[in-house]
Every structure is written in structure tokens, then in C-alpha cells.
Amino acid sequence: MDDRSSGVNEQKKKERFDKEALVHLDALYRTALRMTKNEGDADDLVQETYLKAYRFWDKFEEGSNCRAWLFKIMTNIFINNYRARSRKPQVVDLEDVDDDFLFGQLSALGPSDNPESHFFAKVFDDDVKKAIDNLPEDFRLVVVLSFLEGFSYQEIADITGLQIGTVKSRLHRGRKLLQKELWHYAVKNGFIKEPAQR
């Protein structure tokens, strides 16, 4: 292949990469922020993801789900490089989280003043992000992929390499932990008066 035609191919490759892969940058960065919990690491993680994706662009099958492919690459890098650094045993106390914890707490406040809307209206964006960041990592990843990125259970299983049952149970527990976290936050900040123990 002479120089000119290889140049043309490179150009085509770049155009396709731009059109199909780089359009997902915002989404990847959003999830990277929640995964790494800081902007510097999120920057690096997304860059590494794209460089790896570009190197292996010929392995990507045209027409298949590029977004899921990119998230899988990113999750792999995250698990291999970033998580290993701060890998501590995760101790999660789930015993005391009822399935309907937040719902129960809010209902107990009484029907008259519509406590749910009150609660949802009071909490700020950053506080929700903080509450997500405070989730143990295994749950955080699944919650972010499902809630923020809208991936299906099957797609999350493919991305994380988890079995679908594990995805479901982590998502379930992740929800509970998130609700508990937000409840304590709302009580602490006086948005809501904690009712007598139910």
C-alpha cells in the first residue's frame, strides 16, 4: 500500500472513530467521574479508554453497540488499574436496610404534606452525586450504568463481566443504600424532621 492510500485510510478511520466513538465522550466522562470520584483520574481514565479503543478500532464490529463497547473497555481499565490502587475489603452492612426504607420513612411523616415531593425537591444535584460516590464501588458501578447510562441488565452484565443475577442483586442493594444515604443527608440538613422510630 503506498503512502497516499494509507493516508486516506487513516483519515477514514479517524472520521469513523469521531462519528461513532467520540460522540459518547460526555457519557463516558460522566460515568468516569462517578467511578473515580475525581476529575484528574476521570480525565486519565477516559483518555486511556479512547486510546485503547482507537488502537483496537478494527476489532470493533461495525453496526454493533459502540457505546457498550466503550463502556466495557473503560470498566476493564478501571477495574485493572484504578481499583487495584485503593482496593480495600468492602464491608457493607445491609442487614438494617429495609426494602422500603425511604418510602417507609417518608410515609411515616404523614399523608398531609406530601413528604415525597418535599424530599425530592429539597435535595441538590451535587448531593445526589455525592450520595452515589459514597456507595461501595461494586454497587456504584452497577447503579451508574443502569440509572445514568440507561444500560439494560444484560448490557451491564456484558460490560462488567458479572452474571445477570449479580447485576440485579447489586442494583437492588445499590438502590437501598442510595435511598438510605439520601435520607440521612436530608435529616442531617434539616430538610426533613426525623419522625419517631417506626
Residues making contact with another protein (CB under 8 A): 10, 14, 17-18, 22, 25-27, 29-30, 33-34, 42-43, 46-48, 50-52, 54-56, 59-61, 64, 69, 72-73, 76-77, 79-81, 84, 87, 99-100, 102-103, 106-107, 116, 120, 123-125, 127-129, 132, 146-148, 152-153, 158, 160-163, 165-166, 168, 171-172, 175, 178-179
Measured distance CA(57)–CA(89) in Å, rounded: 36
Quick one: how far is CA 180 from the chain centroid?
A: 18
Cβ nearer to another protein, comparing 23 with 188:
23
Which set of grid coordinates corresponds to residue 148?
445514568
**Cβ of residue 67: shortest distance to another protein, in angstroms?**
14
CA distances from 84 to 81, 88, 120 (A): 6, 9, 36
Cβ nearer to another protein, comparing 6 with 194:
6
Instruction: Label residue 141 exposed, middle or buried (CB < 10 Å: 0-12, 13-18, 19+).
Output: buried
